[in-house]
Amino acid sequence: MKGIVFTEFLDMVEERFGYEVVDQIISESKLSTDGIYTSVGTYPHSEIVKLLMNLSDKVKIDPKTLLKEFGKYLFDVFLKSYPHFFSSVDGAFAFLHSIDKHIHIEVLKLYPDATLPKFISYESDNGDLIMTYKSERKMSALAEGLIEKSIKHYNEKCTVKVENIIEDGSVVKFTIKKIS
Amino acid sequence: MDIELLKRKLKREKISRKQAEKILEDKALELYHTNEALKKLNESLEEKITQRISELQESETKYRNVIEQATDIIYSTNADGYITFVNARGVEAFGYTEKELLGRYFIDFVLDKYKEDVKAFAGQLISNVVFIEYSEFPIVDKNGNIHWLGQNVNRVEKPNGEYYFIAVARDITLRKSAEKKLETARLALEQSEVKYRSVLENMDLGLMEVDTKGVIVRVYEGFSKMTGYSKEELIGKDAIKTLIVKGYEDILIKQDSNRLNGELGVYEVQIKRKDNTRIWVLISGAPFYDNQGVVIGSLGIHYDISDIKNLEFNLEIAREKAVESQKAEQKFLANMSHEIRTPLNGIIGMAHLLMDSGLDEKQQEYVKILSDSSVILKGLVADILDISKLDSGMAEISESVFHLGELANSLINSFKLRANEEGVELICLFNCDLDCFVKSDKQWLNQILINLLGNAIKFTNEGRIELNIKRVKEHDDGYTYSFEVIDTGVGIEPEELGVIFSAFKQANTKVRKDYGGTGLGLSIASRLIALLGGELEVDSSLGKGSRFFFSLRFKTSSKELSKNTIINEINIEARKDMKLLIVEDNYMNQRYISSLLDKWQIEYDLAENGRVAVEKYKQNHYNLIFMDLSMPIMDGYEATLIIRGFCKEKIPIVALTASNLLSKKELALKSGMTDFLAKPFVPEDLFLMLTKHLDTEFVKSAFNDDAFTYNNKLDFESLKNIYGNDYSHALDMFTTFIDVVDGEILNLKTFIKEESRANVKRVAHKIKPIFSMVGLGHISKICEKIEQSAKSMSFLDINKYYEELMIKLNLSKPLIVSEIYKLKKFIKGVVR
């Protein structure tokens, strides 16, 4: 898991729940890294899961919701840090298409060791955008938050339908339908 | 307050961390791009390398093919000289397989003698002195043949600093052998050039070149020296005008024009030197050519032959003198002979006549002594002349055909009286057939035997003397006869044997005192035998006797028969229409000849010199002239020339001279004389001349009275025509006929049996004349028929003719045999 996920997650926790919570979940999670992360590093996936679960326990919010909120938060971070990814496309669908086709390729240039989820996207005959999330990390909620926030960013109105293709959540289908 | 401070500090830390992260990310991206670029570069490099490799492979294949198919030998070795590659041509040249060659040390193949040289070359390459080197050396192939290689060796550096060699070699064996030949030829040329140059220099030859107009264009040192002119003085001058002595220009002009036609020439001319002295030169001229083969001048090699010319001149003078002195000597000898013989002849002749003039006993005895003495004197003179002739090599052989038996008989007869007087028995054992006709010098052989027999009689007081003549060997053209004179005389002391054949040497002075004589007899005999091709030898035992012996090879001839032996027995009748002219100034000789002619009843006139002879010749008709040579007023030569001048018919003129010299004979014949009779002569000699030069009727009539008569069953008329009086010839032919006829007839029979027409014709033609030769003309005609019929008629008919021939021949053979017997008897009778 890329370091940016850890650093931005902890920033979001600090922002929303205060550094005390950050300190607590790090302490409780008994992390091999002692909770010290840098965005350019790579750390075990299990640690974000522990942090997420401990946060959920602490603030009594379900992890899925937290993850979705983190997705929304992360979109803003990305928008701030990598504005050219967003300015180079003129709409939500184009942007969403570009994740797999462009952004992930760029990410891999920077971090060749990164394990990125697969987003297979295509437009159906009725104009819906069908995106299939595929990742053993089963963090489709984070993707959902990112998708919703990106639609909002481009001032578009869409419904997002989420269905598990595989029950454990490793393959999830998003159907994004524009609302005219 | 503290917390606020810490929060700000934390915020700054966080921002700085984010900046650091951002920088890292930027760097990571930069790194990525760099990596990508590198990757791309790498990829294109790989592509290029792949492309290059494939190009290289292609080119290698191409070059490998070129190398493999190259007509040159291409091989490579490692730095140590071990072969690592060799192309097909190399394999072929070395004669080994590629497998056998690879890994071999290259120097091993080099011919031993050249190994060090080749190593030295390799050394230069190894030691970096040169990078490429050409050398030629021979190698030995697997079969032991030697090939010359001319090779370029290239040192090739590898990137790692190692190196190897690539050699490109060509088999230059042919070129080398051609070079060797060329070199040998060049050396030979060089040697011969050196040789000839030194020869030319040593010979003092003068070389000079003229152009086609005869203008001198080049002069060599030797020629300057020879002529005394400097080169500058001669070049540009006309060679003929400048150098040639007047009178020789034509030779030069002729030679120059020959030269233009490319002909060589060697000639002698006189040239004048600068100081006007003249020298004789031998010039060898040769044309020389330009590139197109056009004659542009000639080269003359001059050799000063003045000395040789002088020598030639002196030699010519010396030769003339020698010839003169030889002539003088011959003249002296001739005069001597004439001076002594002429009066002697007179004495002998007169004594001869005196004997017949009715003398009383006392007078007869005196005349006999006179005659004997003069004969002895004549013998002595003859001996001395003979020995001097033999010594001076002037003795000549004059061959004639004579019968050995007759010679022996007449010798024995003439010595018999003397032998009887001495009380010695004289016998002749003649172991030859009657057909012992030989061709030789009868006079010399006669003299040899006279000398030997005379010698034997002289030294034998009792017992006997034998003359043995045997035919000992047969040759293609005659026989070798051995002659022996054996006596029972005093013999010769062994130590004297070596000198008895020397002139004027007798066994010792005592012999001379006891036996007299000049001591020339044996010497003359020995030399004459040598002259005739034999050698006189002697066996002797003191007190018991001596044997002198020799053998001579004679040609046999049955064609001619010397007739003089028969003359004495024949009575000659005078011929009314015959008259001779005797030209002789010496009275005694006149009398001698005239008395003989009177005896033979032949008419004659006498003339005492040439002028009288010419006058008489004009007024009378003569059949023959005997002409003395040395006479007053007009000699025999002149008289002969005059007579020949107005003589229409060719009258025989026989020279009479006391000289036996060939030069006299030649002169006589040159002046127009027909023959030659040497004085002194015996009556037989004179008669022989008559028979020889007078017409055949006379001779025939002289013999006809006693002619042999052939059996009338033979064609006797034709036989007379064929043989005339030559009965020996007839005998010879008859004998030959009997010898050969059976063989020839057998041949004929065989060929008829074989039905070989060509051979039947040939043999019949061949034997046809032999029947005519023995008077069997009718058998000749049968042969003729066989010859004619052989062409086309059946062999049955030919056989009929053959049967006829056999019957006739068998009838005739006994006739021929009896004729042979008769002829033998007749000839014997005549000889006796």
Write out pLDDT tens, residues B39-50: 888 888 888 899
Residue B543, both tokens: 């007190």
Say if CB B61 and CB B69 are below 8 A apart.
no
Element (H, E) at A59: helix A45-59
Work out the minimum CA distance from B25 to partner chain A, whole angstroms. 7
Angle between helices B404-422 and B442-458 (to 10 degrees): 20
Q: How many CA atoms lie within 13 A of B751 on its CB side?
A: 20
Partners of B582 in the beta sheet?
B606, B626
Q: Which residue of B has its CA nearest to A41?
A: B21
Q: How many CA atoms lie within 13 A of B673 on its CB side?
A: 26
- Angle at the Cα of B128 from the Cα atoms of B126 and B131, rounded to 5 degrees: 90
Spatial separation of the C-alpha atoms in residues A17 and A59, rounded to whole Å: 8
Round the CA-based radius of gyration of chain B to a whole number and report it. 56
In B26-55, the residues whose Cβ lies within 8 Å of chain A are 28-29, 32-33, 36
Work out the minimum CA distance from A114 to partner chain B, whole angstroms. 13
Partners of B430 in the beta sheet?
B469
pLDDT at B662 (0 to 100): 65
Residue B22, classed as helix, strand or coil, is: helix
Say which range, A4-8, B57-61, B401-405, B483-487, has the weakest mean pLDDT: B401-405
Per-residue pLDDT for A177 more than 90?
yes
pLDDT at A79 (0 to 100): 92
Residue A24, classed as helix, strand or coil, is: helix
The reply to whether residue A40 touches residue B28, judged by beta carbons under 8 angstroms, is yes
Work out the minimum CA distance from A121 to partner chain B, whole angstroms. 26
Per-residue pLDDT for B512 more than 60?
no
Using pLDDT thresholds of 50, 70 and 90, give the confidence band for residue B380. Answer: confident
Per-residue pLDDT for B4 more than 80?
yes
All residues of chain A having their beta carbon less than 8 Å from the beta carbon of residue B18 are: 39
Strand B425-431 and strand B464-475: pairing?
Answer: parallel
Residue B37, both tokens: 């670029």
Per-residue pLDDT for B595 more than 80?
no
Work out the minimum CA distance from A83 to partner chain B, whole angstroms. 14
The reply to whether residue B28 touches residue A38, judged by beta carbons under 8 angstroms, is no
Tell me what the mean pLDDT of segment B605-616 comes to: 89
Say if CB B76 and CB B164 are below 8 A apart.
yes
Using pLDDT thresholds of 50, 70 and 90, give the confidence band for residue B360. Answer: confident
Its pTM stands at 0.32
The reply to whether residue A38 touches residue B18, judged by beta carbons under 8 angstroms, is no
The reply to whether residue A109 touches residue B17, judged by beta carbons under 8 angstroms, is no
pLDDT at B15 (0 to 100): 86
Work out the minimum CA distance from B155 to partner chain A, whole angstroms. 52
pLDDT at B333 (0 to 100): 66
pLDDT at B821 (0 to 100): 80
Tell me what the mean pLDDT of segment B583-597 comes to: 80
Q: How many CA atoms lie within 13 A of B258 on its CB side?
A: 15
Q: Which residue of B has its CA nearest to A40?
A: B21
Distances (CA, A) of B60 to B52, B68, B549: 12, 12, 107
Q: What does pLDDT average to over chain B?
A: 80
Per-residue pLDDT for B704 more than 60?
no
Taking alpha carbons only, the member of B750, B768, B771, B773 closest to residue B760 is B750
Spatial separation of the C-alpha atoms in residues B558 and B2, rounded to whole Å: 186
Using pLDDT thresholds of 50, 70 and 90, give the confidence band for residue A173. Answer: very high
Partners of B165 in the beta sheet?
B77, B155
Say if CB B472 and CB B482 are below 8 A apart.
yes
pLDDT at A150 (0 to 100): 93
Tell me what the mean pLDDT of segment B635-650 comes to: 80
Per-residue pLDDT for B558 more than 60?
no
Work out the minimum CA distance from B36 to partner chain A, whole angstroms. 9
Say which range, A54-63, B229-238, B700-709, B819-828, has the weakest mean pLDDT: B700-709
pLDDT (tens digit per residue) in B137-148 = 899 988 888 888
For residues B557 and B177, the model is more confident at B177
Using pLDDT thresholds of 50, 70 and 90, give the confidence band for residue A51. Answer: very high
Q: Which residue of A has its CA nearest to B24?
A: A40
Per-residue pLDDT for B569 more than 60?
no
pLDDT at B829 (0 to 100): 61
All residues of chain A having their beta carbon less than 8 Å from the beta carbon of residue B21 are: 38-40
Q: Phi/psi at B167 (nearest 5 deg)?
A: -115, 135
Residue B165, both tokens: 């060699």
Tell me what the mean pLDDT of segment A41-45 comes to: 88
Q: Phi/psi at A158 (nearest 5 deg)?
A: -145, 155
Spatial separation of the C-alpha atoms in residues B248 and B265, rounded to whole Å: 15
Tell me what the mean pLDDT of segment B586-608 comes to: 80
Residues B730-743: b if buried by 16+ CB within 10 A, e if exposed: bbbbbbebeeebee
For residues B823 and B328, the model is more confident at B823
Work out the minimum CA distance from B56 to partner chain A, whole angstroms. 38
Per-residue pLDDT for B507 more than 70?
no
pLDDT at B133 (0 to 100): 77
Spatial separation of the C-alpha atoms in residues B491 and B545, rounded to whole Å: 4
Taking alpha carbons only, the member of A83, A99, A66, A81 closest to residue A153 is A83
Residue B85, both tokens: 């590659």
Q: Which residue of A has its CA nearest to B10?
A: A19
The position carrying tokens 């007449």 is: B410
Determine contact: A166 vs chain B, CB below 8 A: no
Work out the minimum CA distance from B162 to partner chain A, whole angstroms. 45
pLDDT at B722 (0 to 100): 74
pLDDT at B703 (0 to 100): 39
Determine contact: B17 vs chain A, CB below 8 A: yes
pLDDT (tens digit per residue) in B382-428 = 777 777 777 666 677 878 777 787 788 778 877 877 788 778 888 88
For residues B495 and B149, the model is more confident at B149
CB within 8 A of B775, min separation 6: which ones? B710, B714, B715, B716, B718, B719
Per-residue pLDDT for B113 more than 80?
yes
Question: Rounded to 5, what percent of chain A is helix, strand, coil?
Answer: 55, 15, 30
What is the dihedral angle through the alpha carbons of B13, B16, B21, B25, rounded to the nearest 10 degrees? Answer: 170
Using pLDDT thresholds of 50, 70 and 90, give the confidence band for residue B573. Answer: very low
pLDDT (tens digit per residue) in A109-125 = 888 888 889 999 999 88
The reply to whether residue B28 touches residue A111, judged by beta carbons under 8 angstroms, is yes
B109 DSSP 8-state letter: G
Determine contact: A124 vs chain B, CB below 8 A: no
Nearest by CB to B17, which of A38, A81, A109?
A38
Residue B460, both tokens: 């034998």
pLDDT at B787 (0 to 100): 86
pLDDT at B331 (0 to 100): 64
Tell me what the mean pLDDT of segment B371-382 comes to: 75
Determine contact: B319 vs chain A, CB below 8 A: no
Element (H, E) at B221: helix B221-227
Strand B132-140 and strand B437-440: pairing?
Answer: unpaired
Residue A101, both tokens: 């086709």
Nearest by CB to B21, which of A39, A109, A111?
A39
Tell me what the mean pLDDT of segment B790-797 comes to: 83
Q: Which residue of A has its CA nearest to B34?
A: A109
Nearest by CB to A40, which of B25, B32, B36?
B25
Q: Which residue of A has its CA nearest to B11?
A: A11
Tell me what the mean pLDDT of segment B2-27 comes to: 85
Nearest by CB to A110, which of B17, B29, B36?
B29
Tell me what the mean pLDDT of segment B59-66 comes to: 83
Work out the minimum CA distance from A107 to partner chain B, whole angstroms. 9
All residues of chain B having their beta carbon less than 8 Å from the beta carbon of residue A105 are: none
The reply to whether residue A110 touches residue B32, judged by beta carbons under 8 angstroms, is yes
Taking alpha carbons only, the member of B645, B641, B700 closest to residue B669 is B641
All residues of chain A having their beta carbon less than 8 Å from the beta carbon of residue B32 are: 109-110, 112
Using pLDDT thresholds of 50, 70 and 90, give the confidence band for residue B563. Answer: very low
Say if CB B728 and CB B435 are below 8 A apart.
yes
Taking alpha carbons only, the member of B441, B463, B454 closest to residue B519 is B454
A87 DSSP 8-state letter: H
All residues of chain B having their beta carbon less than 8 Å from the beta carbon of residue A111 are: 28
All residues of chain A having their beta carbon less than 8 Å from the beta carbon of residue B11 are: none
The reply to whether residue B24 touches residue A109, judged by beta carbons under 8 angstroms, is no
pLDDT (tens digit per residue) in B425-470 = 888 887 655 457 788 888 888 889 988 988 888 888 888 898 888 8
Tell me what the mean pLDDT of segment B510-522 comes to: 64
All residues of chain A having their beta carbon less than 8 Å from the beta carbon of residue B15 are: none
- Across A44-48, B200-204, B765-769, which has the greatest mean pLDDT? A44-48
pLDDT (tens digit per residue) in A59-69 = 999 999 999 99
pLDDT at B811 (0 to 100): 83
Say if CB A117 and CB A143 are below 8 A apart.
yes
CB within 8 A of B810, min separation 6: which ones? none
Determine contact: B9 vs chain A, CB below 8 A: no
Percent of chain B with pLDDT over 70: 87
Residue B505, classed as helix, strand or coil, is: coil
Residue B84, classed as helix, strand or coil, is: strand
